[in-house]
Structure 1
Amino acid sequence: MESLYTLSRGVVETFGDVYLRKPSLHDLQELYVAHEERHGFPGMIGSIDCTHWKWKNCPSPIFDDLLNGKAPDAPFTVNGNEYKYGYYLTDEIYPQYSTFVKAFRQPVEERDKFFKRRQEGARKDVKRAFGVLKGSGI
């Protein structure tokens, strides 16, 4: 435990200013490119999964605006349409915020089924990361 604490403290001290802060417009644009290339979701900032914590305790200053219903002002374009705010993929436990895109519960239309499959695939990344953290006792 002491070694893990020392390592964690070193990571925070070394990288905290870069990674434990709200993303800049440049950061968000890089996220858009990465998520569109990997998952096919233009304008996606990320996927949120704090299913094992109470929502108000999600551990990051990044979530402060989200808790107040604010989306990062980072425009993106899809099919010639410009959108002002990015979004996060979530599941049904999250509040009804415009910046949260939830999967269809029981899709009927083929396009909705396709979206649900793609969204579930994209959300697996963050679920795996939280699973590793949970398994390590953090």
Structure 2
Amino acid sequence: MLLGPDGKVRGDHDLVFYNHPAQDGVSVEGTEVTADLSRLPAGEHRVVMVVSADPLQPGAVITRAPQLTISQSAASSALFIAPDFTSGETVVVLAELYRRGHGWKARAVGPGYASGLAGLRLTTASMWTPSPPPRRSPRRPARLQDRPPRST
């Protein structure tokens, strides 16, 4: 999702997914999301990465979020491992890239919602305001670790 300074999407075109795989420098191919931050319009202030269970699979839930690696260059990357999900989550907000001054920062997020995309309260031109996460038992904290890049 591409969000402006007010936390809003400009329209449906700001949602990048398998049926709309590219917009303003952000693209998705399979499980890989690429953000060419130099191509984002000045009005875009955040890129939020969300994972959703397949809505065409009744009862599908996320038990383990995909591993997220954020790479700035071949020599620099960070690994985010979200905790396991045990409360019937169907959507997980993994991470966001956001403008800070003249540059960009990355933040691991990690909450999951059992109410699907509606739990994000995300509609065209509405504010991206996550619902409170469901109550759950304590679990291991999320980790964001520096990691050397994988050699190929």
TM-score between the two structures when normalised by the length of structure 2 = 0.26
Please state which structure has a larger fraction of its residues in strand: 2
Q: Which has the larger radius of gyration?
A: 1
Please state which structure has a larger fraction of its residues in helix: 1
Q: Which has the higher contact order (CA 8 A, sep 6+)?
A: 2
